A and B are shown apart, each in its own frame.
Chain A
Amino acid sequence: MTNRRDFLKLSALAVAATTGMPGFLARAAAQAGGTKTLVVIQLTGGNDGLNTLVPYSNGAYYAARPTIAVAKKDVLTLTPDLGMHPALRPLMPLWDAGKFAWIENVGYPNPNRSHFASMAIWHTADPTQAQAEGWIGRIAERIGDPFCASNIGATTPQALRAADFSLPSIDGVDRFQLKLPQGLNAPFTALLDAPRSGEAEYLVRATRQMMTNTARVQASVKKYRPGATYPESAFAAQLRDTARLIAAGVGQRVLYVSLGGFDTHAGQRAEQDELLATLAEGLAAFHADLQTQGLADDVIVMGFSEFGRRVAENDSAGTDHGKGSVMFALGQGVKGGVHGSSPDLEDLSEGDVKYKQDFRGVYAGALTRWLQLDARAILNGDFAGPAWVA
């Protein structure tokens, strides 16, 4: 833990600087090494894995879902047993190129059906719910740079919370700049310099950090020209900002984007079909953009949701909260295909699939093989997973 303590000492220094990038941060970022970026996609609300990666040869799937199953004729065939939801068609070229991976049947011990408890478990990588820090927050502490990961959106998820600060949220790159009215720079600095403690001191640190972060972003982002046409969705706009930050070389190693609305208790097909289309169209444009920018080799995407839905549909043509689900990954650095085995739909736990792959093993792949970090220290244990990073 010496690393972490050192980092906290340093971060206190970092936030004392009001302009530019403090010297130690430049040093720490250089030491962290690596030019690879991980983009994490959160599907909020519990995405139904079975209607995403469809076991179309399985009679038990159709028996459990007379109304909402994806018909065999509609699936995008991947293997003799599995096919993608038709709304994911924009991702087929990546699959065909061997650059899209599904990771089957992912979960964690003692599954929790609460959205919030379960999301917190994915965020902290701690099924005992004892930790408040996020797994990406711990990456920042390891790397020693409070700007090495950012959320793209309005509110910072728990995954990006570190012991003593939260990593930034960038809600629109163009808006991410500080413009004080003329003549007020000095009084603003004096205002921040007044002695404080407690929450007021936290707000000062957050404000100073914002000044550093905005300066760092604005110094770089003007270089970017989009290399693909993005669809008209808030999610796609966030992916475009993600590409822009990567192309500008702002320095984040992890970027985080969320797509919400997957809590499909009623009328699931209409809702989930639309969301999956938004997901696939956005990701396809994002990947195309990175290819145009010549950055596709340096970026992989990893997607998850807090849980899957129950195997059997409910009587509102929806599904209630379940347990295990699928994860996905894409990029030139990804080993395409289906990793892991599909759940046995005739051997369920309280109506849910029995997970086989602990999600921390999937995280470990990204940490060790992609970001070249010590997964054990970040995840507080050794977790095995499929070799989904090429």
Chain B
Amino acid sequence: MTLTPHTRPLSAEDAAHFLRRTAFGGTDSQIRALTGRAAADATREALAFTAALAPANPFDPATGATTGAMLQLTRARWLYELVYGPHPLREKLVLTWSNHFVIGTDKVRNHPALAGYLATLRQHAATPDFTRLALAVAQTPAMLRYLDNDQNKKGKPNENFSRELLELFTVGLGPYSEADVREGARALSGWTFTGGRGNKNFLEPQAFVFNARQHDTGQKTYLGQRGNLSPEDVVRAAATHPQTALSVSRKLHRAFMADTPDERAVQGSAETWRRTNGNVGAVLTELLSSAEFYASRARIVRSPVEYVVGALRTMGQPALEPKAVLNLMQTAGRMGQVLLQPDTVKGWDGGREWINDSALLLRLQAAAALTLGQSAPTLDRAPSDLALFGSERSAAAAALTSLNARQRTYLALVSPEFQLA
């Protein structure tokens, strides 16, 4: 099934939906500005990224006195970008890719490596060629370290990256053998990095390097190809495998369409993927301006980071003290989403798994801090029902009519309607 273009001009509720999915949420005036526009134009504008970052980000990881402080500042710097940056869709994609090409700060404890990894994801966020993104990430010192490819040497293979490249980053479980994993590891030998090793060198630059002396130049067979395969050959073969179109399209549908995607719609995106040779930007353009996208309301449980960023963007990006941003970053972590540190290399599964008793209690606390707490930001205007609930006449909003604006915003933020996108 190919996706059907959404042809009606965007209604106010369509516009609110689009912003919830592509910008973590928006204010009433942002919603009104999109209302009446064409879906294709809204998508094109949202995807027109520059390299611009949030101005005056107060967090500089290089000022961290210890590795731990550096990591906290790295996370806070990213959260600040998510809340205040000029390209929320780019950051949503960085969040999505960081949950696909997973690295973790349990092993990657070097500031330039983490900054380089995030810059790579930003640069290729809506890449016209998935293979380029896969190659670029595979060569980041963060990934080389996280999945031990820096230990993968001729005659001493380490299979960690080779296995996850196939299982998690490209084709998915099934269409490859253990022999492919082993042969892939041989071909990937020699990809490593220089600099920044050890806990004391957490600010020292790291750089990708191909160590030819550690590369296994023998014959290998990988996904049906045979020859003196290079690391690039292996990443390219995995990234262009027909099943990769399906498995990565499914990830994009989980990020933008539904926690439980419609498999026929996923197939539609996979067809576009194959037709365009892995043009992620084209797949996203089609997805975000489709009738299926606009018909898919309230089917994604907002992750902890999406929840706090969504609250702040819906409230009009009020200024927060750096301390408050750090607190929110840590709260999102306690809800189960420590930025750059998913529980496992598979990443967060999301959906209903974000919801449990403790996480719900923390959402109540975070919402209270943002609306009722002593340091809650003062807003020029309370968020509208449309911005909070995604519709202008919801039964949930009707239940809150007797309350003042702060109480109303607090309860709206903990409503099921707000917690879904």
Binding site for B on A (CB under 8 A): 44-45, 113-117, 151, 154-156, 166, 168-172, 175-178, 180-181, 183-184, 187-188, 190-191, 193-196, 198-204, 206-207, 209-210, 213-214, 260-261, 265-266, 314-316, 318, 320-321, 350
A-B pairs with beta carbons under 8 A, tally: 155
User: Across the interface, which residues of A come within 8 angstroms of B360, CB to CB?
Assistant: 206-207, 210
Q: Give the CA-CA distance A261 to B155 in the complex, in Å.
A: 27
Which 10 residue pairs of A and B lie closest in terms of their CB atoms, listed nearest first?
A: A315-B156, A203-B416, A194-B395, A171-B358, A190-B399, A316-B151, A200-B416, A210-B357, A169-B356, A168-B357
Contact A188 B178, beta carbon cutoff 8 Å: no
Contact B356 A166, beta carbon cutoff 8 Å: yes
Contact B156 A316, beta carbon cutoff 8 Å: yes
User: Across the interface, which residues of B come within 8 angstroms of A203, CB to CB?
Assistant: 301, 355, 416, 419-420
**B352, B355, B358, B417: which contacts A176 (Cβ < 8 A)?**
B358
Beyond the given A154-B358, A188-B411, please list 5 additional residue pairs across the A-B interface where CB-CB is below 8 A: A168-B357, A178-B364, A266-B148, A314-B158, A315-B151
Offer 15 A-B interface pairs, CB within 8 angstroms, sorted by A: A113-B163, A114-B163, A171-B359, A187-B400, A195-B395, A196-B395, A200-B298, A200-B417, A206-B357, A207-B416, A315-B156, A316-B158, A320-B160, A321-B163, A350-B178
**B334, B345, B372, B398: which contacts A194 (Cβ < 8 A)?**
B398
Contact B148 A316, beta carbon cutoff 8 Å: yes
Q: Give the CA-CA distance A187 to B406 in the complex, in Å.
A: 13
Q: Judge if B157 is at the interface, Cβ distance under 8 Å.
A: yes
Contact B106 A261, beta carbon cutoff 8 Å: yes
Known: A195-B395, A210-B360. A320 touches B159 (CB 8 A): yes
Q: Give the CA-CA distance A155 to B337 in the complex, in Å.
A: 10
User: Across the interface, which residues of B come within 8 angstroms of A177, CB to CB?
Assistant: 361
In the complex, how many angstroms separate the beta carbon of B149 from the nearest chain A beta carbon?
Answer: 10
Contact B361 A175, beta carbon cutoff 8 Å: yes
Q: Which residue of A lies closest to B151 (CB)?
A: A316
Q: Which residue of A lies closest to B335 (CB)?
A: A154
Q: Which residue of B lies closest to A183 (CB)?
A: B407
Contact A210 B361, beta carbon cutoff 8 Å: yes
Q: Judge if B306 is at the interface, Cβ distance under 8 Å.
A: no
Q: Which residue of A lies closest to B407 (CB)?
A: A184
Interface residues of B in 283-308 (CB under 8 A from A): 298-299, 301
In the complex, how many angstroms separate the beta carbon of A174 from the nearest chain B beta carbon?
Answer: 11
User: Across the interface, which residues of B come within 8 angstroms of A113, CB to CB?
Assistant: 163, 178
Contact A265 B361, beta carbon cutoff 8 Å: no
| Most B Cβ at <10 Å: residue of A168, A178, A195, A316 | A316
User: Across the interface, which residues of B come within 8 angstroms of A314, CB to CB?
Assistant: 156-158
In the complex, how many angstroms separate the beta carbon of A317 from the nearest chain B beta carbon?
Answer: 9
Interface residues of B in 322-337 (CB under 8 A from A): 334-336
Contact B344 A204, beta carbon cutoff 8 Å: no
In the complex, how many angstroms separate the beta carbon of A129 from the nearest chain B beta carbon?
Answer: 9
Contact B356 A155, beta carbon cutoff 8 Å: yes
Q: Which residue of B lies closest to A181 (CB)?
A: B372
Contact B407 A115, beta carbon cutoff 8 Å: no
In the complex, how many angstroms separate the beta carbon of A162 from the nearest chain B beta carbon?
Answer: 12
In the complex, how many angstroms separate the beta carbon of B192 from the nearest chain A beta carbon?
Answer: 12
In the complex, how many angstroms separate the beta carbon of B263 from the nearest chain A beta carbon?
Answer: 16
User: Across the interface, which residues of B come within 8 angstroms of A201, CB to CB?
Assistant: 416
Known: A204-B416, A316-B156. A156 touches B346 (CB 8 A): no
Contact B407 A178, beta carbon cutoff 8 Å: no
Q: Give the CA-CA distance A177 to B361 in the complex, in Å.
A: 7
Q: Judge if B392 is at the interface, Cβ distance under 8 Å.
A: no
**A44, A181, A213, A318: which contacts B344 (Cβ < 8 A)?**
A44
In the complex, how many angstroms separate the beta carbon of B117 from the nearest chain A beta carbon?
Answer: 19
Q: Judge if B317 is at the interface, Cβ distance under 8 Å.
A: no
Contact A169 B396, beta carbon cutoff 8 Å: no
Q: Judge if B199 is at the interface, Cβ distance under 8 Å.
A: no
In the complex, how many angstroms separate the beta carbon of A48 from the nearest chain B beta carbon?
Answer: 15
Contact B358 A169, beta carbon cutoff 8 Å: yes
Contact A191 B358, beta carbon cutoff 8 Å: no
In the complex, how many angstroms separate the beta carbon of A350 from the nearest chain B beta carbon?
Answer: 7
Contact A175 B415, beta carbon cutoff 8 Å: no
Q: Which residue of B lies closest to A194 (CB)?
A: B395
Q: Give the CA-CA distance A369 to B384 in the complex, in Å.
A: 58
**B153, B355, B411: which contacts A206 (Cβ < 8 A)?**
B355
Q: Judge if B403 is at the interface, Cβ distance under 8 Å.
A: yes
Known: A44-B344, A155-B336, A265-B151. A187 touches B357 (CB 8 A): no
User: Across the interface, which residues of B come within 8 angstroms of A202, CB to CB?
Assistant: 352, 355
Q: Give the CA-CA distance A200 to B352 in the complex, in Å.
A: 11
Q: Which residue of A lies closest to B160 (CB)?
A: A265
Contact B299 A214, beta carbon cutoff 8 Å: no
Q: Give the CA-CA distance A8 to B364 in the complex, in Å.
A: 28
Contact A199 B395, beta carbon cutoff 8 Å: no
